[in-house]
Amino acid sequence: MAKIKQEIRALSGDEAVAYAVKQADVDVVAAYPITPQTIIVERFSEYVHNGEVDTEFVCVESEHSALSMSLTASATGARVFTASGSAGLALMHEILYVTSGCRAPVVMAITNRALSAPINIHCDHSDSMVERDAGWIQIYVENSQEAYDSILQAFRIAEHQDTLLPVMVMLDAFVLSHTLESVNVLPDNAVQRFVGMRNIPLIQGHQGKPVPFKLDPDNPITMGPLDLYDYYFEHKRQQEEAMEMAPRVISEVHDEYARLSGRNYGDGLIEPYRLDDADLAAVCLGSTAGTTKTVVDHLRKRGVKAGLLRLRTYRPYPTQEIRAALQNVKAVAVMDRSHSFGAHGGPVFHEIRHALYDATIQPHIVNYIYGLGGRDMPPTLIQEIYTSLQRIAKTDQVEKPVQFIGVRE
Amino acid sequence: MASQWKFTTKDLAEKPEILISGHRACAGCGPATVYRQVLKAVRGPTIATNATGCMEVVSTIYPYTAWSIPWIHTAFENVAANAAGIETALKALKKKGRLKQENVDVIAFAGDGGTYDIGIQALSGAAERGHNFLYVLYDNEAYMNTGIQRSGSTPHGAWTTTSPAGRVIPGKPEYKKPIADIMVAHAIPYVATASPAHWRDLMIKARKGIEANGPAFLQVIAPCPRGWRYDISRTIEIARLAVNTCVFPLWEAVDGEYVLSAASKVIALKPDRKIPVRDYLKAQGRFRHLFTPEFEHIIDEIQQIIDRRWKRLLKRCNM
């Protein structure tokens, strides 16, 4: 249990993020407004203009420059935060790869919003799902409390010398970004003790001696050089090694934070809910997990052995943990809030299938594409999914592996 | 201060090279000379950032580097944002007492593609926000790194691989964008043009840009023997001819006030020293197709536009 007295504040998801950044001794924030991320930058602007933080806050002219600035500020040794979503994240696409390739531990909040066209400002996961291969750690949160907690953890994860990878923390547009919740916040000094100062690791410099990994006139290094077929591949391999180290770091940081705050989210990678003896399991990310948990409780009362697996960390992908969590169920419904056109299913579906390929007994797996462009996902529809899982478990047959739910066909 | 430093050959000889030998620039590379001259003018600890382009490629092929100061490259269109990020981080770290140095200067380098075209948004944004750094545009008037394609800087009539000297369209139909005037219009403290043929003028301007309290923009004409089609021995000669024909006049704008620099002022005072544009075009293979009966009228057109721009500049300089 937590020993520290925490304060309960009424915060939206965006406000919870801004509050965490305020407490985390961030040196530079560079950001560009996009609905529904705007409250993050608005609140942070207030902290700056009221003298509550000594962060250098720069309102840039585009998301491309927001991340470009964040990257080089981080390379200069600063702790850096930015935030975006949807078209803004898409505009950052090029620099996402450069940031992870330069091993700049930038932390970014993403309010998950649909991509154009048609233009739509509401929630789905299309924006961040397409960036899952960009070399960033991805954490999807269920509620505003977790948004606050995860931003604080993200700085520790990103800046850890075994990872040195940028981290994006995803919160659902409007459902979380604009909805007030009671959020427990830690005292400033407890946050500062937890996040600490940014630690710059030593690397081998050009003359062979150890130098800090940053742009430092006393120890000059060249960053972002042309790197051809003779070394590029090794550098990409090193990024994968860092990703392989990341689950341990994420779990350690998560557990340390849990001891401090009294709050935990599974093991920091996945969060199984009533899954131990479940026959039927849904898999989802983000705020839908909250609704699904109430449906599971309801079904359990009726004697249905339903459970839920919420994926919290999506990159690195916790393959083993997912397999262990799901291999004893009879039927799995993967809920994708984005779609890969022409790919016969959403990205989460494909990767859950991949995780279960090596399971001794493979459960039936079906895919439901839901909630695109902010389409509501009420408990009744989630219940329908479990009903179809019951049918699959009973008949041992899958009629339609991929379906759209909550849409006019 | 710039005034205390004389930029004499003795001073220069004593100053260590920052872009050291061994880089892979072509023989006769204008940009490499420009870099060397700019970097001779630094005042102390400096961090450089570079847009994608020839100079990024030739100076840093991993595991080698020609840079003896900290340097970073991230992409093509964002070097001004990169400089802004470095400057902002330095400011934040200094405020928190975590910067070892009393002051660190920031220089951004980019070619014309990275400045006129794909990079102008980031440049305009950084200028508007007032970040304190020097932006050096090495202007070789086309995308040389990708194989001589036209840019917003390529002059009228010039051959490039995407503005070929065709039977119908002889070279680039459009005119060169007045980038330095655009930067003056941003109301930044210092904007100047320079030529490596006038090296002391270039260095003093680079130093003024570094010392300016806010964004500074230095446009340097940087002839490219490969793209402009001339012998590698003639780079500096052509950089001088650009000034003496008024194709590339030298001036500076301090807080928006235009002043002609010595090499161009001489021409303003003694107009008979102004060399015809024809001589400049004749020296370069990229204009060779204009010296045909069919297209010769384009040379007159170019002369007219150069004269008009020169006149406008003189007016701005109150001359």
C-alpha–C-alpha distance, residues A171 and A65, integer Å: 22
Q: Which CATH entry fits the domain spanning A270-405: 3.40.50.920, 3.30.310.10, 3.50.50.100, 3.10.20.740?
A: 3.40.50.920
Q: How many domains in chain B?
A: 1
Chain B CB contacts of A100 below 8 Å: none
A289 CB-side CA count, 13 A: 25
Range(s) of the domain holding residue B151: 2-316
In the sheet with A56-59, reading across from the earlier edge strand, the strands are A56-59, A28-31, A80-84, A107-112, A167-172, A137-140, A313-315
The alpha carbon of residue B69 is apart from the nearest alpha carbon of chain A, in Å, by 5
C-alpha–C-alpha distance, residues A90 and B172, integer Å: 33
Strands (E), A24-165: 28-31, 56-59, 80-84, 107-112, 137-140
Residue B4: pLDDT over 80 = no
Residue whose token pair is 């919740």 = A181
Chain B CB contacts of A82 below 8 Å: none
- Nearest residue on chain A to B103, alpha-carbon basis: A217
Asked if A359 reaches chain B (Cβ–Cβ under 8 Å), the answer is no
Cβ pair B82:A61 closer than 8 A: no
Angle formed by the axes of helices B199-211 and B30-39, nearest 10°: 50
Residue B6: pLDDT over 80 = no
Cβ pair A68:B46 closer than 8 A: no
CATH code at B11?
3.40.50.970
C-alpha–C-alpha distance, residues A294 and A175, integer Å: 16
C-alpha–C-alpha distance, residues A188 and A23, integer Å: 6
- Nearest residue on chain A to B84, alpha-carbon basis: A69
Cβ pair B93:A77 closer than 8 A: yes
The alpha carbon of residue A196 is apart from the nearest alpha carbon of chain B, in Å, by 14
**Each residue's pLDDT expressed in tens, for chain A with a length of 409 residues:** 557 899 999 999 999 999 999 999 999 999 999 999 999 999 999 999 999 999 999 999 999 999 999 999 999 999 999 999 999 999 999 999 999 999 999 999 999 999 999 999 999 999 999 999 999 999 999 999 999 999 999 999 999 999 999 999 999 999 999 999 999 999 999 999 999 999 999 999 988 899 999 999 999 999 999 999 999 999 999 999 999 999 999 999 999 999 999 999 999 999 999 999 999 999 999 999 999 999 999 999 999 999 999 999 999 999 999 999 999 999 999 999 999 999 999 999 999 999 999 999 999 999 999 999 999 999 999 999 999 999 999 999 999 999 999 999 9
Cβ pair A69:B100 closer than 8 A: no
Cβ pair A71:B85 closer than 8 A: yes
Please tell me what DSSP assigns to residue A382: H
Q: Does domain A7-201+240-261 have CATH number 3.30.470.20?
A: no
C-alpha–C-alpha distance, residues A313 and A317, integer Å: 7
Asked if A334 reaches chain B (Cβ–Cβ under 8 Å), the answer is no
Which residue in A68, A102, A227 is closest to B78 by CB distance?
A68
For residue A393, give the 3-state DSSP assignment. Answer: helix
What's the pLDDT score for residue B11?
84
C-alpha–C-alpha distance, residues A409 and B20, integer Å: 66
What's the pLDDT score for residue A207?
83
Which residue in B69, B77, B86 is closest to A76 by CB distance?
B86
- Strand pairing category for B105-111 and B134-139: parallel
> Which DSSP string do the residues of A240-268 spell out, in sequence order?
HHHHHHHHHHHHHHHHHHHHHHS---TTS
C-alpha–C-alpha distance, residues B163 and B167, integer Å: 12
Q: How far is CA A368 from the centre of its chain?
A: 21
Calculate the average pLDDT of chain B: 96
Contact (CB, 8 A) for B119 and B80:
yes
The domain segmentation of chain A, as residue ranges, is 7-201+240-261, 270-405
A404 CB-side CA count, 13 A: 12
What's the pLDDT score for residue B1?
45
The alpha carbon of residue A104 is apart from the nearest alpha carbon of chain B, in Å, by 11
Please tell me what DSSP assigns to residue A346: -
Cβ pair B65:A69 closer than 8 A: no
Alpha helices in A302-378, H assignment, sequence order? 319-326, 347-356
Cβ pair A217:B45 closer than 8 A: yes
Confirm whether A7-201+240-261 and A270-405 share one CATH topology.
yes
CA distances from A228 to A78, A224, A231, A276 (A): 29, 12, 6, 49
C-alpha–C-alpha distance, residues B96 and A314, integer Å: 35
C-alpha–C-alpha distance, residues B283 and B286, integer Å: 9
Over range B31-49, report the average pLDDT.
Answer: 97
What is the pLDDT confidence band of residue B29, given thresholds at 50, 70 and 90? Answer: very high
Asked if A96 reaches chain B (Cβ–Cβ under 8 Å), the answer is no
What's the pLDDT score for residue A318?
98
C-alpha–C-alpha distance, residues B148 and A334, integer Å: 51
Q: B214 — phi, psi (to 5°)?
A: 140, -170
